[in-house]
Amino acid sequence: MQQPKRFGATALIALSLAVAGPAFADTTVTYQSNGYTLNVTDKNSGVSQTTVDTMVNTFFAIYPAESRDFNPDATKTVSIVLDPGYDGVAATANATETYSANYLKSNPTDTDTVTHESMHIVQDYGQQNIPGWLVEGIADYARYRYGVNNAAAGWSLPDYQSGQNYTDSYRVTARFLVWIEEHHPGAVQRFDAALRGRTYSDQTWVDITGASVDQNWASYTASPGI
């Protein structure tokens, strides 16, 4: 595996103990680059430094681009927590991305989870009744578009198969969105803006593409090449 480039001294600005005590204390390292700040808290996770370095480099490579293209007002300060007590893969809330230490130790190349989770911070849709399949589909669309280590992790968009539906979420929806973007450039950004602006409805698909989501899906399944 290609070794990640490490940030220089100008990026590493602080190292502090979050919990008093010996080697079992949590540690927080703060990195800065080009006006963005990333706080990485390691809860004695055992995740390798190589993996952490790759996650940090990934964040600074993708988050400014995601913000620029989708939400220039997105926060410039983000936190990552490596938590051995978290039993999912990753979750994001309040500009904090929490990662399962066990998952990262078992899947050290799957560092573009950062690209997906960081997109959730850019999305910043707030609490509202919105389709979760589209939220997660846009986040995986961002991973496909901006990801830097997907190939090494064996991550890719699945080919269309009979029985799939746009509501399947994640990579299935993301592939559909790639197809939509190829036929209607700028559509994904407009969906994202409608969700953030709380104007999204079924009519949004008609306004942006000229057809309903179901009509678009039918066209996609008839000719799903991307």
How much is the pLDDT for 4?
45
* Amino acid at the residue 82: L
How much is the pLDDT for 23?
47
How much is the pLDDT for 58?
98
Q: Which residues contact 154 (CB under 8 A, 6 or more apart)?
A: 109
Tell which wins on pLDDT, 132 or 12.
132
pLDDT in tens, 47-88: 999 999 999 999 999 999 999 999 999 999 999 999 999 999
Q: What is the mean pLDDT of the segment spanning 133-159? A: 97
Separation between Cα atoms, residue 204 and residue 61, nearest integer Å: 31
Q: What is the pTM of this model?
A: 0.89
* Composition of the chain by helix, strand, coil, percent to 5: 45, 15, 40
Q: Which residue in 221, 79, 200, 66 sits closest to 140, CA to CA?
A: 66
Separation between Cα atoms, residue 190 and residue 104, nearest integer Å: 33
> Looking at the predicted structure, is the pLDDT value of residue 13 above 60?
no
Which structural domains are found in the chain, ordered by start?
A: 1-124 (1.10.390.10), 128-226 (no CATH)
How much is the pLDDT for 12?
47
How much is the pLDDT for 128?
78
pLDDT in tens, 85-138: 999 999 999 999 999 999 999 999 999 999 999 999 999 998 778 999 999 999
Confidence of residue 25 (pLDDT cuts 50, 70, 90): low
Q: On the CB side of 131, how many CA atoms lie within 13 Å of its CA?
A: 19
CA distances to 34, 166, 190 from 70, rounded to whole Å, are 18, 22, 9
Q: What is the mean pLDDT of the segment spanning 187-212? A: 97
Separation between Cα atoms, residue 149 and residue 152, nearest integer Å: 6
Separation between Cα atoms, residue 20 and residue 13, nearest integer Å: 20
Separation between Cα atoms, residue 218 and residue 208, nearest integer Å: 17
**Chain center to CA of 30:** 20
Exposure string for 41-64, b = 16+ CB within 10 A, e = fewer = bbbebebeeebbbbbbbbbbbbbb
Q: What is the mean pLDDT of the segment spanning 197-206? A: 96
How much is the pLDDT for 129?
85
Instruction: With H, G, I as helix, E, B as strand and everything else as coil, classify residue 203.
Output: helix
How much is the pLDDT for 118?
98
> Looking at the predicted structure, is the pLDDT value of residue 213 above 60?
yes
Eight-class DSSP state of 116: H
